[in-house]
Amino acid sequence: MSFEREVETALRLAGEAGTIALDFQRRGISAEEKPDESPVTAADRACEKLIVDGLLAEFPGDGLLGEEGSNRDGANGRRWIIDPIDGTKDFLRGIPIWSILIGLEQDGEVVAGVAHCPGQRATAWATRGGGAWMGSERLKVSNATDPSRAILCFNGLHKAGVGNMASRLLGWASKFWAVRGLGGSMDAMLVAQGRADVWIEPNAAPWDLAPLKILVEEAGGTFGSFTGEASIYRGNAYACAPGLEPFVRTLLG
């Protein structure tokens, strides 16, 4: 299946949600704190509603899983996984690296995904077997094999999940040519473009990962949880150029 209609719909809705979010940002916005102490804004909720309403209008039999509470069983083995604003802290502080993430899962496998970063005017998408794209450019991960010539993106030294690797993290990271941290979705997009080479995400939910997984994989990269499964449901993730996976595994165990 090409999932052309699904991707076109997700691209349109991500663009519309980005416009709404930017408008909220221009007018000024405050956040509430969720039980997990992460922030949520009226923009998050408005964007999720727009995306959910649009998806159900086009694909009424599909299920839903959204960060801000959208949860609906489907009738056909398909489920849309939505993060209306990935990087709400960046959104609140005006740091232009937050994104809108929409992934499609079929029978437990992510088969399509869109990542849209309005602040960078960057949108990437992928379908299973159809490649990963940004505009007319087909994305491809780097051929890096040596960390001393590679760029590491590490999202969140303060996050749960770092403690188990803390004693070896600094020495491991010091082997890289450069270390960056751009909030997860931008990190993964850079890996898919071949501009960065490794992304480490110590703590993440399925909606943080679904479209990023297929973007990296369809660009020829490796995606997995810290325990090695290619899953978005293990609470953490890494992505990398295949030639660097052995080095990544020395950190993760």
Q: What is the pLDDT of residues 217-238, one digit of tens each?
A: 999 999 999 999 999 999 999 9
Rg (CA), the chain: 17
pTM value > 0.85 = yes
Q: What is the mean pLDDT of residues 195-215?
A: 97
- Percent of the chain predicted with pLDDT > 70: 98
Tell me which DSSP letter residue 65 carries: E
Whole-number pLDDT of residue 60: 96
Mean pLDDT of the chain: 95
Cα 250 from Cα 218, distance rounded (Å):
24
Which is nearest to 3 in space by CA: 72, 59, 54, 56?
59
Instruction: List CB contacts of 132: < 8 A, sequence separation 6 or more.
Output: 124, 125, 126, 138, 139, 192, 214, 215, 216, 218, 219
Tell me the pLDDT band of 36, cut-offs 50, 70 and 90: low
Q: What is the dihedral of CA 236, 240, 173, 250, to 10 degrees?
A: 80
Mean pLDDT across 199-204: 97
State mean pLDDT over 43-64. Answer: 96
What is the average per-residue pLDDT within 163-172? 93
